Structure 1
């Protein structure tokens, strides 16, 4: 009887992970609408095309190379993933930097549980790959974009994931030194969003601003997006998908902590939007729909790492602080650093 219950629990958990993966994949539609709405009309087709294509580019690279590098040593019995598909490629013991095994999802240990986990992690990787499409919108060439999509899926994201969620050196550093747990990031504020954000910042700096963004004396000039309702709809789609992003990161449908995760996610997003609205009104004297969008997204990103470990009031504080930070950093980056980030 106990074994039957265990098997059923693993099967239900696997279903939970696959549903979560589908929700995260649907976030690509949200990113596409947000970024297309924030760009100018003449670039809309190009921007939405990059958001569409990045899913396939990242997926293919992650399928062949990225997933084995990142998660070749990963196992999690609660969802039926009992046996890793590979072994250490670079490093040994607690100091593993990359894994090897299961290239192109082949080998004796490829099970339904492993395939479900691959699907979920692919959705996370594609989120990382999508983030720079907003910061470099309206400027980068298609060939360069294709190279980024393949590089992110094959090398860039997998290396960071191997160090952290894959059980690599960052995940075990403090444990190795008998100082407690290693790097902890429940659903990806750092592994996914910061990793994508660093690439986005680097790309925007290398490409430089759009023509006409700055006057001859260096003053930032407004370049409003052509369709804010589209961007707002995209933000709600992202919010919806974020519940799969965060709550399904329990990797277990029998872990009722997913209710805490989902609630904290909603709280942070709501507080982020409201505080952003109030802060921009205090700063400029009028509401700014674009900043309300950014405030909600900032709250969601900020709470993604600790959402399973904090009280609801802390989620509200995190969302509020994130909203203020995103507004002030937007002004600083655009006006002081003169870095153009359209989305």
Structure 2
């Protein structure tokens, strides 16, 4: 019976790993659809390239730094998965694949800040360093037995470890690269640069939503008691609340229920509940998701007005919502769920005092500072050595052609393609 239980848990986590890896397909559609046609192929291909680099780097170094034996700050053993498997625990190979899927999501978030102007060579180098220098450190602090773990920080599936890290890295890249050509007028007023395919972005968001049922419920690492079903419930409620809140907020602020903002609300709700999904009651999950959906709309519009060109609103969706989601357990963590998980203390609204909120805030602050500083240092050095941004001419013609020599929609360059036909019709 013990062997059957171990096998069921292993199959469960493997299935969840596949679901989370499949979220990469969602990011391909979401990011490519949010970009202009001339950059769609580049963005889609980049996702595959960087996932491959992350898989190798996390296997060789990153997993050991995150989960290997070491000290409160970093793992110092376990290179190439040379870590003894505990008796009755998950097979190491499955654990690696599950954790790799999280790294890949975090890295995919970071790339939002580079969209439509970053060099492919920078993607390659930053992917390697993000997977070995940035992500594992915060991962070890919170999930690998590090000092934040000992303090009782509650981050069940990664609002801080995955999303805040990716969102901060995206913001740093966005600020260093500067805005895309034509995004702002001389007076600083932003111009809309709509994505080329809204159907792609909706489908991508739905795939990511589906994959999140591997992300959060899979973090139980067990199918034995069915607790993963409860985690799935809170996850779904928060996503739905984020969508509805974003719909109402953008309609109030802009006068139209803009589809991209509604999609951002879904993702923000998912990001926020990722830390709290195992610690809060269903009603609190709705509140957490709704607040995240509204915050994302407000902050996305605010940063754009301040001259920040974040093409897919990566910082608002993942950074801001990641901060709120991490702090939320300090308010809403339920005593009965804290007892089930064995992590941290009840939240402020349940009479738990300020202690857990203080731990959550500390985790947010130190993680954000570490990721911001290391991301800035890496990108600053790369900028001095090779440059981060493609040339103005390359940006204007699009990264499909300038970086890869082929167009994601080649019929539009054909002598008989729709663009050529339209041009001839206009000329006649």
Structures share fold, TM-score greater than 0.5:
yes
Contact preservation (8 Å) 1:137, 1:342: yes
Alignment of 1:3-82 (within 5 A): 5-72=1-68
Shift of 1:283: 1.4
Other-structure match for 2:102 = 124
Stretches of structure 2 lacking an aligned partner (at least 5 in a row): 313-428
CA–CA separation in structure 1 for the residues paired with 2:203 and 2:128: 29
Shift of 1:101: 2.5
Once the two structures are overlaid, the 10-residue window that deviates more, 101-110 or 299-308, is 101-110
Choose the corresponding residue for 1:301, options 271, 279, 285: 271
Shift of 1:104: 1.1
Shift of 1:48: 1.1
Q: Does 1:165 align with 2:155?
A: no
Matched position secondary structure for 2:143:
coil
Other-structure match for 1:276 = 246
CA–CA separation in structure 1 for the residues paired with 2:29 and 2:113: 14
CA–CA separation in structure 2 for the residues paired with 1:170 and 1:202: 24
Contact preservation (8 Å) 1:215, 1:221: yes
Shift of 1:150: 0.6
Matched position secondary structure for 2:223:
coil
Q: 1:108 to 1:256 in 2, by over 3 A?
A: closer
TM-score by length of 2: 0.71
Shift of 1:10: 1.8
Choose the corresponding residue for 2:77, options 92, 101, 106: 101
Matched position secondary structure for 1:150:
helix
CA–CA separation in structure 2 for the residues paired with 1:243 and 1:297: 13
Stretches of structure 1 lacking an aligned partner (at least 5 in a row): 73-86, 175-181
TM-score by length of 1: 0.88
CA–CA separation in structure 2 for the residues paired with 1:112 and 1:222: 48
Q: Does 1:241 align with 2:211?
A: yes
CA–CA separation in structure 2 for the residues paired with 1:171 and 1:107: 20
Contact preservation (8 Å) 1:50, 1:133: no
Shift of 1:107: 6.0
Deviations 1:144-179 (A, max 9, x none): 11011111111211111111101111101x3xxxxx
Other-structure match for 1:226 = 196
Other-structure match for 2:301 = 331
Matched position secondary structure for 1:28:
helix
CA–CA separation in structure 1 for the residues paired with 2:251 and 2:241: 15
CA–CA separation in structure 1 for the residues paired with 2:84 and 2:251: 59
CA–CA separation in structure 2 for the residues paired with 1:112 and 1:325: 38
Contact preservation (8 Å) 2:65, 2:78: no
Deviations 1:88-147 (A, max 9, x none): 1xx3xxxx2111332112466599611111110000011111112122100111111101
CA RMSD of aligned residues (A): 1.4
Contact preservation (8 Å) 1:17, 1:248: yes
Other-structure match for 1:341 = 310
Contact preservation (8 Å) 1:60, 1:153: no
Q: 1:105 to 1:141 in 2, by over 3 A?
A: same
Matched position secondary structure for 2:139:
helix
Contact preservation (8 Å) 1:47, 1:133: no
Contact preservation (8 Å) 2:272, 2:292: yes
Residue-pair matches, total: 310
Choose the corresponding residue for 1:254, options 211, 224, 246: 224
Matched position secondary structure for 1:120:
helix
Q: Where in structure 1 do 4 or more consecutive aligned residues deviate above 3 Å?
A: 106-112
Q: 1:52 to 1:166 in 2, by over 3 A?
A: same
CA–CA separation in structure 1 for the residues paired with 2:90 and 2:266: 35
Matched position secondary structure for 1:305:
helix
